[in-house]
Structures are given as structure tokens and as C-alpha cells.
Amino acid sequence: MNISLKNGDLLQVDDGATAYDAALKISEGLARNAVAAKVNGALKDLSCKLCEGDALELVTLKDAEGLDVYRHTCSHVLAQALKTIYPTCKLAIGPTIENGFYYDVDFKTPISMEDFEKIEAEMKAIIKSNLPIERFTLPRDEAIAFMKRYHETYKVELIKDLPADAEISFYKQGTFVDLCRGPHLPSTGKIKAFKLVSIAGAYWRGDEKKKMLTRIYGTAFAKKEEMEEYFRRLEEAKKRDHIKLGRELKLFALLPEGKGFPFFLPNGMILKNKLIDYWRQLHRREGYVEVQTPMIMTRSLWENSGHWDHYKDNMYTTKIDGEDYAVKPMNCPGGMLVYKLAPHSYKDLPIRMGELGLVHRHEKSGQLHGLMRVRCFTQDDAHIFMLPEQITAEIKGVVRLIDEVYSLFGFKYYVELSTRPEDSMGSDEDWENATNALKKALEELKLPYIVNEGDGAFYGPKIDFHLEDCIGRTWQCGTIQLDFQMPQRFDLEYTGEDGEKHRPIMIHRVIFGSIERFIGILIEHYAGKFPVWLSPVQVKVLPITDRAADYAVSLVEEMEKVGLRAEADLRKEKIGRKILDAENEKVPYKLIIGDKEMESGSVSVRKRGAGDIGSMTKDDFIALVVEEDENKVIF
């Protein structure tokens, strides 16, 4: 029989051949490296039997799907080790996650990370045994009876909740069997590098009314070197932790009196306001007008916008004069009302309307994390109202602006196009037109993108920008959402060239996303060593003796007159102590001031990361820092 390969070639194989047989026919090396297969687009085990005309794609550990299969098999090896060491434990679920896997387990006797050594030893023994992994299926009643026989009550519950027509599959490795849809590696011996990393509590099925289980986290990589690099990055991430640095640099505070509501301190406000100033400067240049809409508006507004149906569980509500109100989780409905305040002609469009709006969203306490996941944040929103023929040009303009901002901070990024979700509103035609418009803009820009099926906003498809920081982590920040729906729901209009009323098309877009979260990302990206233009204190003047104190103060005053942020350290401390403290505060420039500098009107300069860079006149130094500040130089 013939099967088709990814490159379009046909491959002839024997009747009843498996995906592995096909891989072996192509090459022994491919068969050795393959871990799974895509058959007609569906991920399958290599033992999957092929049929005439099937489309086959072999999956290796170079593919994301291959690593997922690898890590999922590792979770089964963990489960087998646990059942060997703790025969009375009950298994729940063991999915993969980014860079690893976990397994939720119900233990009779609690375990801790101190038990990891013996669990890992058992896992290594299972891997060394190179046990074949075999898939089989059972009818529902037999599957339930099979799991009951092993007292796996959580598995029984999972089987009972499966759809009536679902195929119920199991995987066997040695004497261990687990309920799973797969796919898996051909054998346990394929696993080369893994490590258990942490332990936590997790409610069964995420329901706090149900039993708390023990969740064991692990990581796994194709090569030991890759795993070592992963742990090196983790250690680097700990050093860059924005919560730790935010506290040390006195940028913000997280207090129990406002969980999820960060307190910005004076240094943090300087940083935040510099970002806002930059945002305003760019948007004035690009022809945006700025508005501000109320933080609290009537429930009826949110019903009209669609947010009440799709988002009410994340909204804070209140009553005013007996009427239901909600604190805004998004700025866009307010922008609709601003647009409607005046009649518009086709000559007015596009209207680019920006808003730095403080929004509130109810997040569960367990999901809160520093500035990365909060309950209130400033969204650097903009809404562009435009003619249909302006869509491509406006999207390209936003992409250009986003690229300019991210390039300034030294971020690389990749782009995702997110399509219609199940929970959406609007016609198929509108969604198709909106999605095609985004694709057209990306293709005209020759900007590579990944399609993220079903992850669009409920009112339209979107382009998401994922930043990559200096240690390789990615963060979703910017987004461009094309919306045909809200202009309809709010009955927005403009008078066309024909004198008739028409409906504008709308773009929702952010660049920073959340200014607070972007600050958290910047803290970690720069490890707190902000470029001069963002540093809360740009220059620290450090007098060696009391005699130089007046000169130090005068230097600060001269720098402040030209808009620089400088401080003098007048403490009665040794100069070494002052330098060390300024280094710990990550100040870009330190000026060492003694009798010689005082007499000559010069300064001895220490630059962060470069050390002593020598002496220069005070005027030359001030000019240097002013230039770096104005040009937003990064070092």
C-alpha cells in the first residue's frame, strides 16, 4: 500500500505496516530518532497501523510534539516508580507542562522533597530496564472494573466522565498500567535526562471543595546538556526575580492590605512615568489623541459590549443609587461612548484614540504573582476607528510602532495569529474577513507568524507579540485585535463619501500590554540595571571627604537643572562603602569627588559594568549623560 510523506513523496509499505515500519523503510537513523508520528494530522504512537493513502509525518525530539510525548512518558515513569515505592498511593492525572510534567497523587502518608532521591533512583531503574510501552483499549464497563481492581478511584471517575462514544485506552510498561489517551515513547529506555524539581498541593480537578492531592513536578530534556542549561537559566532567573529586585531597589511593595494591588514607591513611579512619557511622545508623533474614560460604569454598558456574558466572573461589581455598576476590566466600551459623542465623516477616519486606563480584573489569590499577575493594572490601550480600505495600512502602522518600541528595549519577538474561539460573537463572514485582513497585513510585512487556533478575543481575531528576554524566556505583551462586532453593538457610524451612514471597523491594540507587567519584565530583562533614561537615579555623587560635600551638592544641582536625576551620598562612611552601596542600587554612573576634583572642577567617573573610566570635566560628563538620556541609549 502507498502512504504520503510530508514532502509529498509516496512511500510503499506492506499491508498492516506501522508508522515505525515506515520510518525504518525511510532510514534506520530516522527510525532510531522517531518518538511518535502524525497520521493524517493526528499525533499517534509509532506502533499505529497505517492504511492505504494515509498522510504520515515522523516526529522526533526536535519537534515540540516529540518533546511533549517524551515528557508525558516521563510522567508515567514517575507514576510507576511511586506505585512501586508507595503501593497504597492513588494516581490522579499526570500531564505535561512547559519544560516538564507533573503528577497529582493521593498518598496515605505525606511525602516531601527529601523523598525525591529514592523516587528518582526507582525511575532510573525503570528507564534502564527499557520496558516496552504498549497501548490497549477496553470497553467502558471493563475499563471501570479494571481500575477498581487496582483501587484507582480517581481513574474510575475520569472514565465515567468520558463521552459515551470515547475510546478508552491504557498504556502498559512492565507490570504498570495507566489510563491515558497517549501517545507515548516506544519504550522507557528512550528517556535520557530528567529531574524531579518541586512538590505542591493541588485540589482534585482544581475544586477547592475536593481533596487536596500532592503534585510532584519534574522536568525532562532530550539531552543532559539541555537540562543543565535549563537549570542554569532557572538560577539566573532567580537572581533577576522582579519581586526581589523591586524590593531591594525600592520600586514597589506588595502588601497584605492590598493583595494583587501593587504599591508603587517613589523610585518605581519615576520608572513608570518615564515609560508613560515615552508612550505619549510616540503617540503624539503618530497622530493619536488621548482620552480618559470612567473606571466604573453601568452594568448595561457591559451587557451591551458583551463583556458581561463573557467576562463577568472576572469583574468587580457594586451598586450606586440602586443600579448595578462594574469596575472596568477593559477600556474599549468607554472608547465606544467617546466616539459616539460627535458625528463623524469618512474624512475624519482613521481616528486613533489612546487611553492609559487603570483596569481591574478579579484574579484568584493563588494566581497572583508580583507585577506579572495582578488585580489592577494600567493598560496602554488604543482604539483605531477606520474605513474598511484603511485596515491593512493601520495594522501595518501599529506593527511598525510595536517593532520600534520593542527594538528600543533590546527585545526580540515572535508573532502569533489567534483565530476564532468557541465562545465568540458575530457572523462567520465577519470573522473570515477580519482574519484574512490580519493575515494580509502580516504577509505584506513579510513578518513570519504562527497560527494559534481558537485563541482570539470573543469579538475578533488578533495578532499577539511574544517578547524574548535576555535569558530566552518569552512574554506575551503587545496585541492587535481587529473588531467588526463592537461598532455594531454600539451602533457606531460615519457619513461616507456617498452621504450615507456606514459602520467603521475598529482595532484594539496595546504595546506594553500592562505597564506594571512590562515593568516586571524590564526588571528581569535588565536584572535591575536599567538604561540611563529609565534609571530612577542616574548619577550618584560620592564625596571622599567632608570638604568635598559642598562640591558634590553643587554638582547635583547642576545636573538637576538640565533634567538629570542625581543624588549625593553625604554619609560619614568610607568611600568603598559608598561605592558598594551605589553598585547594589545599580546606579549607572558614580562620581568620586575628592580635593583634586574639587580644585579642578572635574569628576572621576565610574560606569556601571565598566568600572573606573577616568576623569573628565563636569561639563563634559553632564553632556555625556544628557545625550544618553535623550537618545535612550542602552548599555
How many CB atoms within 10 Å of residue 239? 12
Judge whether 606 lies within some domain: yes
Q: Pick from 29, 28, 49: which is nearest to 39 by CA?
A: 49
Q: Residue 30: which CATH number?
A: 3.10.20.30
* Residue 38 DSSP SS3: strand
**H or E element that contains 385:** strand 376-386
Distances (CA, A) of 609 to 202, 397, 531, 635: 44, 37, 12, 9
The set of residues, in sequence order, having a beta carbon less than 8 Å from that of 229 and lying 6+ positions away, is none
Decide: 253 and 269 in contact? Cβ < 8 Å: no
Least confident of 423-427, 582-586, 609-613: 423-427
Q: Are residues 301 and 344 in the same domain?
A: yes
Q: Residue 436: which CATH number?
A: 3.30.930.10
Q: From CA 78, how far away is CA 119, in angstroms rounded? A: 8
Q: What single letter denotes the amino acid at residue 634?
A: I
Q: Are residues 513 and 574 in the same domain?
A: no
Q: Are residues 501 and 544 in the same domain?
A: no
Q: How confident is the model at residue 83 (pLDDT cuts 50, 70, 90)?
A: very high
Q: Are residues 50 and 87 in the same domain?
A: no
Q: Are residues 608 and 501 in the same domain?
A: no
Q: Are residues 128 and 172 in the same domain?
A: yes
Predicted confidence (pLDDT) at residue 50 exceeds the cutoff of 90 = yes
Could you tell me the residue range of the domain that residue 7 belongs to? 2-60
Q: How confident is the model at residue 459 (pLDDT cuts 50, 70, 90)?
A: confident
Q: From CA 546, how far away is CA 423, in angstroms rounded? A: 69
Q: Pick from 400, 293, 286, 288: which is nearest to 351 by CA?
A: 288
Q: Are residues 134 and 112 in the same domain?
A: yes
Predicted confidence (pLDDT) at residue 234 exceeds the cutoff of 90 = no
pLDDT for the residue 208:
84
* This model's pTM is above 0.85: no
| Sign, Cα dihedral of 111, 112, 114, 119 | positive
Boundary of a domain, candidates 14, 39, 60: 60
Predicted confidence (pLDDT) at residue 424 exceeds the cutoff of 90 = no
Cell of 539: 548619577
Q: Are residues 462 and 560 in the same domain?
A: no
Q: Residue 565: which CATH number?
A: 3.40.50.800
pLDDT for the residue 242:
94
User: What does the pLDDT look like over 535-545, one tens digit per residue?
Assistant: 999 999 999 99
Q: From CA 467, how far away is CA 476, in angstroms rounded? A: 6
Q: From CA 185, how far away is CA 626, in angstroms rounded? A: 60
User: What does the pLDDT look like over 110-125, one tens digit per residue?
Assistant: 999 999 999 999 999 9
Mean pLDDT of 274-288: 97
Predicted confidence (pLDDT) at residue 432 exceeds the cutoff of 90 = no
Distances (CA, A) of 604 to 424, 561, 627: 63, 21, 19
Judge whether 259 lies within some domain: no
Predicted confidence (pLDDT) at residue 470 exceeds the cutoff of 80 = no
Decide: 70 and 194 in contact? Cβ < 8 Å: no
Predicted confidence (pLDDT) at residue 307 exceeds the cutoff of 90 = no
Residue with cell 492590598: 258
Judge whether 226 lies within some domain: yes
Domains contained in the chain, number: 4
Decide: 310 and 361 in contact? Cβ < 8 Å: no
Residue with cell 549607572: 588
Q: Are residues 422 and 455 in the same domain?
A: yes
Q: Are residues 54 and 110 in the same domain?
A: no
The set of residues, in sequence order, having a beta carbon less than 8 Å from that of 82 and lying 6+ positions away, is 89, 91, 103, 105, 119, 216
Cell of 435: 482574519
Q: Pick from 385, 393, 357: which is nearest to 490 by CA?
A: 385
Q: What single letter denotes the amino acid at residue 449?
A: Y
Q: How far is CA 259 from the centre of its chain?
A: 21
Q: Pick from 166, 167, 147: which is nearest to 157 by CA?
A: 147
Least confident of 97-111, 431-445, 491-505: 431-445
Boundary of a domain, candidates 13, 39, 60: 60
Decide: 127 and 77 in contact? Cβ < 8 Å: yes
Q: Are residues 295 and 199 in the same domain?
A: no
pLDDT for the residue 149:
94
Cell of 215: 503534585
pLDDT for the residue 476:
87
pLDDT for the residue 482:
87
Q: From CA 322, how far away is CA 302, in angstroms rounded? A: 17
Q: Residue 205: which CATH number?
A: 3.30.980.10
Q: Are residues 584 and 604 in the same domain?
A: yes
Boundary of a domain, candidates 60, 78, 98: 60
Judge whether 532 lies within some domain: no
Judge whether 245 lies within some domain: no
| Sign, Cα dihedral of 150, 153, 154, 159 | positive
pLDDT for the residue 472:
79
List the catalytic residues.
Answer: 332, 361, 379, 381, 383, 462, 508
* Residue 479 DSSP SS3: strand
The torsion angles phi and psi of 48, rounded to 5 degrees, stand at -65, 130
Decide: 174 and 126 in contact? Cβ < 8 Å: yes
How many CB atoms within 10 Å of residue 415? 18
